[in-house]
A = this chain, B = another copy of it.
Amino acid sequence: MTSERYQKGMDKLKELTVADENSPTGHMDIGEGFRDIAPDLQRYVVEFAFGDIYARPGLSNKQKVLTTISALVAQGTPQIGMHVVTGLNVGLTPDEIAGCIMHLIPYVGFPRALNALRVAQEVFAEQGVAISQPDAAQ
C-alpha cells in the first residue's frame, strides 16, 4: 500500500508543511476526513496530487504555491487559506502572497481578489506575520 509514489507524495508533503508525529501532513488537508465515503481519496491526493504532480521538477516550491494560489483565486474556491499557509512554510513572504492576489485584480476582477485577500489576512494574523511596509501610504 505504501507505494513508491505514496512515499514520494508524503515526502513532498513534509517539505511543504510543518509536520510532527501527531500530524504527519501538518496543516494540509489530504482527504483523511473522507475515509468513510471515499476510502481511496487520500491515496489519490498523496500519490497523484503530491507524488506525481507536486513532486515534478521544473518549478520551485515557491513557484508551485504561487501558481496554486493564483488558480484558486480565479476559481473562487474556498481552499485558498491552506495554500497560503503552505506558501509561508516554503518561504514565500507575505508581500509575495498578498502581491500575487493584488496582481490578479486586472485578470479576475476586484470581488474575487477581495475574497482571497480576506483569507490571506486571516492566515497572516493566525501565523503572526506581516507585509514589510504596511504603513506605506502609496
User: Chain A: residues with CB nearer than 8 A to chain B?
Assistant: 1, 29, 31, 33-41, 43-45, 48-49, 52-54, 56-59, 63-64, 66-68, 70-79, 94-96, 98-112, 114-115, 117-118, 120-121, 124, 130-131, 133-138
Interface on chain A toward B: helix, strand, loop, or mixed SS? helix
Which 8 pairs of residues, A with B, have the shortest CB-CB distance? A58-B99, A70-B70, A74-B74, A40-B138, A71-B74, A49-B106, A58-B95, A77-B111
A102 and B39 form a contact (CB under 8 A)? no
- Chain B residues with Cβ below 8 Å from A66 are 63, 66-67, 70
Alpha-carbon distance between A136 and B134 when the two chains are bound, in angstroms: 39
